[in-house]
Amino acid sequence: MLMNQTMEVIEKNDSREKEMLESLKEDYKVRVNAVAYILDAKPEVENDLNELKKIAAFMSVDEIHLFDENGVIYGGTIPKYYGYSFDSGDQMAYFTPMLQDKDLTMCQDVMPNTSEGRSMMYAITWNNAGTKMIQVGIEPKRLIDEMNQNQISAVISNMPMYTGINIFVADSGDGKILGSTKAAMVGKTLNDVGISRDKVTEQADVPAICYRNIDGIVSRCAFDRTDDYIVVVTCNLLSNIKTDVIIMVIMIVYFIIAAKALASMFTKLDRVRRSAYTDELTGCFNRKAYQENVEEYWESPDMVYISMDVNGLKKVNDHQGHAAGDELLQGAAECMMKSFNGYGRVYRFGGDEFAAIVFADSRRLKKIIDDFKERMNKWSGKKVSDVSVSLGYAEKCERQWENFEELAEQADERMYGCKAEYYSKKGEDRRKLQAAHNALTKLYTKVLIINLTQNSYQIVSIDRESLKNSVFSAKLSDWFETFANSDELYPDDRQAFLHKTALQNLKKNINGTGKSYSIIYRRKYGEEYKDTMMEILAAEDYTDDSQVCYLCVRCLG
């Protein structure tokens, strides 16, 4: 029983360390993406050391580093690191795959950094334009402290023992003792204390029992092994000869206590296991649960992926405080779970992003979504009066999808269309809201800010395929003309396109009233031409003297 208890404690301890580490890595990936977004929105702070430090403090990270496309640090909060690259050492070489795949976001385990040997965790991602990499470094003090407490030496030394009874936990490879109730034995090998590692049996259903001369004293031994550890429990025969009755009473009392402790531990472990798959704020399942479920769900022909995003979260956080923002998220999650949980599961990916995977035919799906909308209309909180969620879904039965990711992306695209429509009706400045900005850039293949007075433009977002095929010029009018004369535009649409995009016509049709000006033309996608719409809308800071507008392009299919 003591052997089994020891094995259980060690295995659960190792599992907890891994869960803790993975949880932190996901958290740091979220932080580095947030920093990348901030720097994209405020590119002027890239060269301002004080502003970068403020961003680091705001995001609760210790370091920010900026890498160029070749993997060389050229900026960040620690100037002495400038010039280091992915070739500077093993720790930095870990991130070399970033150079080949700009969709990657990576997070490293705790290890000494290249410059100073400090224990750090680093996460890295590309910015939206793919022109630079942003890395954040965090000194994971909480993780280090907890992992130190969870080291085998600490775990075993804290286990309750009685005279004549000892526990040894050794590395299964070299037999080195990693933890023991006899502290002086840590660092020695099993052979040093009289236990032949070579004679320890292979993993068995029950521990093996034998007698050994342990550290000069005849002892009864029980030993067992896992892939990583050899565990030995010894009982000193000379020290417990006083009476078998006393030993028996002590062991009975001990095992009664141990049984209660184990029952409590299993209850706590069950809670830990549940919490590992549950979002703490909302009670929804988390990204980890989602990743483990999707493969199983993909087998069902009735599967429906519902992509959801809570509207107005940043505005509530900024004007009413984060407590109100939390209530908004909890209210949205409550409506989701009450509507969808009877047909599947609801997941929160972080921030205002949610998804539900349900199993229903098209007729029942409509009723489920109508029920969700009705619940939202009736919901009201103490700090927030109402809740709104942008929603898009894709059914597996719609068509032959290549894989689960393609179906989910289709649902996301439909959700972002819904969100863009929501912010358009609200008249929100899309540059100032991350959710609105995401919606805008997801819905359109190309987004530019143009200035009709200065005949200039600035690219906000452009997809890679469009970037590869587009030819940009110095002036806005030159760009329109260059595009019109390329084979990207359908020849019969050329004259109409040039007429509608002439600066005088744009100035005539656009003003600060908020109405958009649309141009429909046929554009080449691959080997075929498809209907495409260019929308031009006056920006919030539009004036007659500075005619600033959004130019957005999307394929109509």
Q: How many other C-beta atoms lie within 10 A of the C-beta of residue 311?
A: 25
Cα gap 26→21, rounded to integer Å = 9
CATH assignment, 151-241: 3.30.450.20
What is the predicted pLDDT for the residue at 305? 95
Task: Give SS3 for 218.
Answer: strand
pLDDT attached to residue 402: 87
Alpha-carbon gap, residue 488 to 452, rounded angstroms: 24
Fold exhibited by the domain 287-431: Alpha-Beta Plaits (3.30.70)
First-to-last alpha carbon distance for the chain, in angstroms, is: 68
Domain ranges of the chain: 10-141, 151-241, 287-431, 444-555
Q: Do 151-241 and 287-431 show the same overall fold?
A: no
- For residue 490, the model assigns a pLDDT of 92
CATH number assigned to the domain covering 10-141: 3.30.450.20
Residues near 326 by beta carbon (within 8 Å), at least 6 away in sequence: 281
Nearest to 276 by CA among 16, 9, 30: 16
Cα(437)–Cα(419) distance, rounded to whole angstroms? Answer: 10
| pLDDT at 145 (0 to 100) | 46
Q: Is the pTM of this model over 0.85?
A: no
pLDDT of residue 153: 58
Given a contact cutoff of 8 angstroms between Cβ atoms, the answer to whether 401 and 409 are in contact is: no
Distance from C-alpha of 342 to C-alpha of 118, rounded to nearest angstrom: 49
All residues at 6 or more sequence positions from 421 whose CB lies less than 8 Å from its CB, including other chains: none
CATH architecture for segment(s) 444-555:
2-Layer Sandwich (3.30)
Q: How confident is the chain (557 residues) per 10-residue block, as mean pLDDT?
A: 61 57 77 87 87 86 93 92 88 92 89 79 91 89 46 57 74 81 81 72 49 68 75 69 50 54 52 68 89 82 92 87 93 94 90 91 90 94 92 91 88 84 62 50 76 86 64 81 89 92 87 74 87 84 82 81
